[in-house]
Amino acid sequence: MHMRTLDQTTQEVVDLASKHFNVPAGSLAPSDDFFKKLGIDSLQALELLSRLENHFGIELPDYEVQGVSDFRTLAERIQSRL
């Protein structure tokens, strides 16, 4: 099984988010605030989380992403559970 680097994980998170919310690939950056950039609310962010869980094959408890609003931090939380 190959291990992803944090950069790879981050890129996959960004790609999935752009797919899920239908924005052009390349328009999102790791440091972006996804609430602001995508104009989404906390519930839509939870939807994204479910999609990420399926993709990475992990469970992310809600508390892990409490207060997280940028892709890179989100990727770090995922990385620690891979």
Partner 1 sequence: MLDLSKYQSIGAALKDALTAFSRETCLIEADRDREKERLTYKDFQNRAHPLARALQDTGFSAGYRASIIMTNQSKWLISAYSIFFAGGVLVPLDYKLAASEHWQLLKHSGARVLITEYPIWRQLAAAPERASAENVKLVLVTEAPANADLAGAQRWEEFRNSNEPTFAPRERKDIACIVYSSGTGGRPKGCMMTHENYLEQCVALTSLYPFWPGVRYLSILPTNHAIDFMVGFFGPFICGACVIHLRTLRPEFVREAFPKYKITYVSLVPLVLKNLQKGLQARFDELPSGKRKIFDFLVAANKALTKSKPRPGLSRKLLSQIHANFGGELRAIIVGGAFTEPQTLQFFYDLGIPVANGYGLTEAGTAITVNDLNPFRADTVGKPLPGMEIKIVAPAEDGVGEVYVRGKTIMAGYLNDPELTTETFSDSWLKTGDLGRIDPTGHLILSGRKKNMIVTEEGKNIYPEDIENAFESLPVKEFCVFAANYVWPKRSMVGEQLILALHLENNQEYTDSLRNDIIARNNRLLNYKRVHGVVLLGEDFPRTASLKIKRNILAERLAQLDRTSAILSL
| Residues near partner 1 (CB under 8 A) | 33, 35-36, 41-43, 46-47, 49-50, 59, 61-64, 66-67, 69
The pair of structure tokens assigned to 46 is 């939870």
Nearest approach, Cβ of residue 35 and partner 1 (Å): 4
Instruction: Answer for the pair 78, 54: CB distance below 8 angstroms, yes or no.
Output: no
Residues in Cβ contact with 52 at an 8 Å cutoff, skipping those fewer than 6 apart: 13, 16, 60, 74, 78
- How far apart are CB 48 and partner 1 at their closest, in Å? 10
Q: How far is the CB of 45 from partner 1 (least distance, A)?
A: 9
